[in-house]
Structure 1
Amino acid sequence: MTSRTIVIAAGGTGGHFFPAEALADALVARGHHIVLMTDARAGKRSSGVFAHSPQFVLQGAGVAGRGPIRALRAGVTLLASAWKARNLLQDVQPDAVVGFGGYPSIPPLLGARLMGRKHPALIIHEGNAVLGKANAVLSRFADVIATSFPTVAKLPMGARTVLTGMPVRPAIAALAGDPWQEPDNGVHLLVWGGSLGARIFSQVVPAAIARLPDTLRTRISITQQARADDVEAVRQAYAGMGVKARVEPFLNDVPDLLRSAHLVIGRAGGSSVAEITTAGRPSLLVPLPIAASDEQTENARAITDVGAGWMIRQPDFTAQTLATRLQDLFTAPDELARAAAAAATLARPDAALRLADIVEECLQLSPSPVPPPSSKTETRT
């Protein structure tokens, strides 16, 4: 296999960074050289696959939801970063640039396009069921758009798309096919709220558990991610009820937690949905209400449409509503089992390998061409 240099553009939250690392692992395993371009929020990586690769930190700022003056300043910053990225890319001379959405991916891909007619292959990965604002800008330059969901709203007409799924970490991919176990002696509830936890879960979940009958509450054990300043209050709330609970600001053993979970409560980000479905676990999803394109609602709908879980909008996510739903589910394990089986049908544990295949196809290292849009991904406006 011919070794090539591939720039990966990703930053911000783990939702963008975890799939980027999974792709990098797959490409390095195939003998390719990796370069990371990221933003200050992610910073340089001291561990993992990128720790042994060249890294560049670029400035940038999101423009969604800003006033006109701040949006203008952010746009100027992005353009300046794009020009800096162009100069860096001229030195690196990559064969391809792969972006994972969010504004940190704009400067490297736009900078690559500014290199002129001999620019590298440009690939973007869309992790949600709605094309993100950054990817919408970049889609006009991309050679191919890889998607996580079969149906993606706001894809441009004529875009070359292929369904790969969302790349997940190898330890998550290894969960595929692991059977969901019926809660005989106890119920394990996993609550996560995104990269930094979510205050709404810290407020609602303990209050909902307190409303459950004693006979059910004593069977529940909880692992919950919470904001650092909420951790102690949530711990005390569960301790006061006599509920076995582990509450942390960051969960570093997600694969093990998913393996033992009977139900997952959390946001509906693309990476979270991919990890839940790869593990084949039922979920109760509360979409982030301030997401720029309301993509989390569409992600959650992809789960509920196949019976793999349930969605509660944040305004309706109250202690009483959640308590009622938990009591119904935990006293009807057959419903949880059906949802777990449905979730498993959405698993794409080989997504990182599929995306690596697409990169190599764009570099003409694979004999099979990138399929046309109609054969893989449905476009919905």
Structure 2
Amino acid sequence: MTDFTKLDISASETPLAGQVIAVTSGGTGGHMFPAVALSKSLVRRGARVLFFTDARAARYTEGVEGVETIILPAGGIAGKGIKGRLTGALRLGLGTLKARSLIKKAKPAAVIGFGGYASIPATMSAKWLGIPYAIHEQNAVLGRANRLVASHAERIATSFAKVTMIAPSDEAKVIWTGNPVRAEVAALAVSEYHAPESDGPIRLLITGGSQGARILSEVLPDALVSLPEDIRKRLHVTQQARDEDIDAVRETYDGSMIDVTLASFINDIPEKLRDCHLVIARSGASTVAELTAAGRPGFLVPLPHAIDDHQRFNAQQVEEAGGAWLLPQDRFTSELVSERLAKLLTNPAALTCAAKAAKSSGRANAAERLADMVLDMLGLNPAGSPNNENMGKDPQKV
């Protein structure tokens, strides 16, 4: 167990000193990254953080000073057969019993949930025990786990200016905080975007989530090698692809005069994001958050089978702001993509405008805004803070 008395935090910066805050999240990266970012901010402010999640997520909190991770039994229900639903419900029930017992004993001042089925036990326990709780939604659609507990939440923090599936009776609780990103990406907010210069290199970053996206590996190489030669000679492509697809992707690029780096996992995403001129990717919450934090234009292909079609809603938010171009997967053909990119990559003004719009559609310092929200819930936030001022207002007018 972490010794919270040995943390190096100035007493003048510890409004939460002596407070226990519970954070809970599903075990995927999209849920965990913002939850861990908030946890770190709360620890800096003096809190002791109990982090409730499932077994998949232990690696995300390993070594995070000031955070004690509690693994709960949990299982998904959505999209499963009868047997899978029964198993998932049983595990959620066991997880809820464990969470309720531990929360009752620890008596946290608040519980903050980040969605995913593994967040249900702790947020439901907070509801039953009368402990104030808030939720954070990473996508432009309120997730199913968050919908289950939204009605009794003190605050509903959102990553996007507009989020669907929030009940009208809950709109007054909404705060547009943005979606926290890792520190290396957040630091890119001060970096300027430089569009490709005439006859200079054009750098593309192609990602498809942690496992790569097969459709991107199938379509993009053909689309890029079909570009005019004068564009191909300038292309520097970093592309993520699944291990089983890399050989075929490399073969397609061979002889194309395109400078290509292929990998199943890209370790230096912040550096590549800083240097790229265009990102081509799915539109998961983490990807969109990083694009808007860094201020980089995106060519987004939503995953068509995402729950509640949330990736399409994510991409639409950025496209409507002018920061990205959305192309549905059913129209994502090599011919159309090649045609679109031929025009886009030779239009530096359009790329520059999109980069500026992408940055304006996000919110900086999202983790600190979330921590301010926690302070506000506990009556510790200074009057006139952004969170107090923005409660229940139209985020687009804030």
TM-score, normalised to structure 2's length? 0.89
Q: For residues 329 and 133 of structure 2, what CA distance do their matches in structure 1 show?
A: 37
Residues 81, 245 of structure 1: CA spacing in aligned structure 2 closer, same or farther, 3 A cutoff? Answer: same
Q: CA RMSD in A?
A: 1.9
Q: Is residue 6 from structure 1 mapped to residue 17 from structure 2 by the alignment? A: no
Residues 171 and 255 in structure 1, CA contact (< 8 A), matched pair in contact too = yes
What is the alpha-carbon distance in structure 1 between the residues aligned to residue 266 and residue 188 of structure 2? Answer: 17
Query: What amino acid is aligned across from residue 316 of structure 1 in structure 2?
Result: R
- The one-letter code sitting in structure 2 at the alignment partner of 1:113 is K
- Contact 1:162–1:376 (8 Å) recurs in 2: no
**How has the CA–CA distance of structure 1 residues 47 and 55 changed in structure 2, closer, same or farther, with 3 Å as cutoff?**
closer
Distance 1:22 1:280, change over 3 A: same
**2:178 corresponds to:** 165
Question: For residues 48 and 262 of structure 1, what CA distance do their matches in structure 2 show?
Answer: 35
Distance 1:262 1:355, change over 3 A: same
Query: What's the offset of the Cα at 1:138?
Result: 1.5
Matched residue, 1:93 = 107
Shift of 1:377: 4.5
Shift of residue 201, structure 1, vs aligned partner: 1.0
Q: Give me the whole-angstrom Cα distance separating, in 1, the residues matched to 2:59 and 2:223.
A: 40
2:159, 2:254 → 1: CA distance?
40
Which secondary structure state, in structure 2, belongs to the residue aligned with residue 229 of structure 1? Answer: helix
CA spacing shift, 1:166–1:2, aligned 2, 3 Å:
closer
> In structure 2, what residue type is equivalent to 1:250?
F
- Alpha carbons 1:9, 1:108 under 8 Å: kept: yes
Q: In the alignment, is residue 270 of structure 1 matched against residue 285 of structure 2? A: yes
Q: How does 1:203-242 map to 2 (within 5 A)?
A: 203-242=218-257
Q: Is the 8 A contact 1:44 1:56 kept in 2?
A: no
1:173 offset after TM fit, Å? Answer: 1.2
Aligned-partner SS, 2:26: coil
Q: What residue in structure 2 maps to residue 84 of structure 1?
A: 98
> Out of 107, 127, 136, which is 1:125 matched to?
136
Q: How far did residue 206 of structure 1 move?
A: 0.8
- Structure 2 unmatched ranges of 5 or more: 1-14
What is the SS of the residue equivalent to 2:211? Answer: coil
- Trace 1:363-378 onto structure 2 (pairs within 5 A): 363-368=378-383, 370=388, 374-377=392-395
Instruction: Give CA deviations for 1:255-288 in whole Å, capped at 9, x if unaligned.
Output: 1111111000111112211110111111010111
Q: Among the aligned pairs, what percent are the same residue?
A: 42
Q: What do the CA deviations read for 1:144-203 (whole angstroms, capped 9, x no partner)?
A: 110111111110222211111111112111111321112121100001111221111111
Checking the alignment, whether the CA contact within 8 Å between 1:13 and 1:195 is kept in structure 2 is no
Residue from 310, 313, 316 that aligns with 1:298: 313
Identify the match of residue 29 of structure 1 among 38, 44, 51.
44
1:322 aligns with 2:344: no
CA contact (8 A) 2:43 2:66 kept: no
Cα distance in structure 1, aligned partners of 2:27 and 2:253? 32
Q: Which residue matches 2:208?
A: 193
Q: Could you tell me which residue of structure 2 aligns to residue 332 of structure 1?
A: 347
The yes-or-no answer on 1:58 pairing with 2:76 is no
Q: Distance in 1 between matches of 2:288 and 2:27?
A: 18
Classify 1:63/1:377 alpha carbon distance in 2 versus 1 (closer, same or farther; 3 Å).
Answer: farther
Contact 2:160 2:362 in 1 (8 A): no
CA 1:67–1:319: 2 relative to 1, 3 Å? same
Consecutive unaligned residues of structure 1, counting only runs of 5 or more, are: none
More helix by share: 2
Answer yes or no: is 1:152 the counterpart of 2:163: yes
What is the match of residue 328 of structure 2?
A: 313
Amino acid at match of 1:66: K
Q: How much has 1:44 moved relative to structure 2?
A: 4.4
Whole-Å Cα distance in 2 between the matches of residues 174 and 75 of structure 1?
Answer: 41
Greater shift after overlay, 266-275 or 223-232? Answer: 223-232
Relative to structure 1, is the Cα distance of residues 282 and 28 closer, same or farther in structure 2, using a 3 angstrom cutoff? same
Cα deviation 1:199-227 (Å, max 9, x = unaligned): 11111111111111122111101111222
Task: Tell whether the 8 Å contact from 1:177 to 1:280 is kept in structure 2 after alignment.
Answer: no
CA distance in 1, matches of 2:227, 2:110: 54
Distance 1:245 1:235 in 2: 8
The CA distance in 1 between the partners of 2:258 and 2:390, in whole Å, is 53
After superposition, the Cα gap between the structure-2 partners of 1:48 and 1:330, relative to the gap in structure 1 and judged at 3 Å, is farther
| Equivalent-residue separation in structure 2 for 1:231 and 1:27 (angstroms) | 41
Return the alpha-carbon distance in structure 1 between the equivalents of residues 74 and 28 of structure 2: 14
Contact 2:212 2:242 in 1 (8 A): yes
SS at match of 1:246: strand
* Greater RCO (CA < 8 Å, at least 6 residues apart): 1
Q: Is the 8 A contact 1:44 1:57 kept in 2?
A: no
Aligned-partner residue type, residue 192 of structure 2: P
The alignment partner of 1:252 has SS state of coil
